Amino acid sequence: MKTALSLALVLACATFVPVLRAADEPTKPVTPDQPVVLFNGKDTTGWFSQLKDPKVAADAVWSVKDGILACTGKTNGYLRTEQSYTQYHLLVEWRFTKAGNTGVLVHINPPDTVWPRCIECQGMHAHQGDFWIWGGAKVAEPMVQKNGVLRPGPDAEKALGEWNTYEVDCRDDTVTITVNGKVVNKVTGVSPTSGQVGIQSEGAAIEVRKVVIGPLPKR
């Protein structure tokens, strides 16, 4: 009886991250007309995990506790929305528990692989605001290191351990990154212009407390 009770308590307290099956075709892109909370603070409902190492379980990389989405960064991959979006403002609040690498992926298109066709909005410590262009996606700006568009100005990231506000505006064929209230980079001539959005796992332990997508600010 005691063993059964202990097991029940463990199951009640645990937070499970569902491993969702990717759809064969992406959903029709939605243009948000009001803010939508993508991370509910309880679990990863509405998200799909893609990891480079198929032997690693999603819940070994992604977990939710006390309203925080934690990522170990091991192995490489991403957690993406099931829903596709276009013409939107995306806000992510995150912090590093140790300096390293991560990113926000926008306009993710199938197939799910590491790395997919998408625009990576770099989140690496001291490099937040760079772009990396993956899987045949295109931008008009000249690229360095084959697929990078580096941030032209100074870093706007906060000190390690502090929460950063990372915003991405996807308007027509332009993607603009704002870090802690400062516009730091943009690319134009972007293709594709719609897709899923995601958080990257790439070596660093990070915590995420907010992911909200909404309408673009009026000009």
Provide the pLDDT for residue 5.
39
Q: Is the peptide bond before 163 cis (omega within 30 degrees of 0)?
A: no
| Topology adopted by domain 31-214 | Jelly Rolls (2.60.120)
Provide the pLDDT for residue 22.
46
- Tell me: the pLDDT tens digits for 33-68? 999 999 999 999 999 999 999 999 999 999 999 999
Q: In which region does residue 79 sit, left (phi positive, over 0), alpha (psi from -120 to 50) or beta (all else)? A: beta
Verdict on whether the full-model pTM lies above 0.75: yes
Nearest to 154 by CA among 134, 131, 183, 122: 183
Chain center to CA of 166: 10
By CB atoms closer than 10 A (0-12, 13-18, 19+), residue 61 is buried
Give pLDDT tens digits along the chain (219 positions): 444 434 343 333 434 444 444 444 668 999 999 999 999 999 999 999 999 999 999 999 999 999 999 999 999 999 999 999 999 999 999 999 889 999 999 999 999 999 999 999 999 999 999 999 999 999 999 999 999 999 999 999 999 999 999 999 999 999 999 999 999 999 999 999 999 999 999 999 999 999 999 999 998
Rounded to an integer, what distance in angstroms lies between the CA atom of residue 112 and that of residue 23? Answer: 10
Delimit the domains of the chain by residue range: 31-214
List the end-to-end C-alpha distance of the chain, in Å, as a whole number: 64
